[in-house]
Amino acid sequence: MNNFEIIKLNNVEDNILIVMKTSEPPFDFLSEMEEALRNIQYLGYVTIDELLHSGNTEERFIQGFFNGNSFENGKFKFTVY
């Protein structure tokens, strides 16, 4: 089972949304996410929806920058949509 789904969004600044399909922390799957983003040759900001992990709270969405190879360490932040 894939623990997340990558959705390409149009007409928004952060045009990649990763929806977690598990209640485990998304940081447990960073290497798999990085591999999937490399496979689609993505570079830019990524928003991760961790509804199943955090619930519908102010900590539901986190954002980080993917530099084409990996996420920038320590640069994730909570964001509101």
What is the spatial distance between Cα 24 and Cα 52, in angstroms, rounded to a whole number? 8
Domain chopping of the chain, boundaries: 4-79
Q: How confident is the model at residue 81 (pLDDT cuts 50, 70, 90)?
A: confident
pLDDT in tens, 22-47: 999 999 999 999 999 999 999 999 99
pLDDT value, residue 13: 67
pLDDT digits (tens, 9 = 90+) for 3-19: 999 999 887 666 899 99
Choose the weakest-confidence range: 5-14, 46-55, 58-67: 5-14
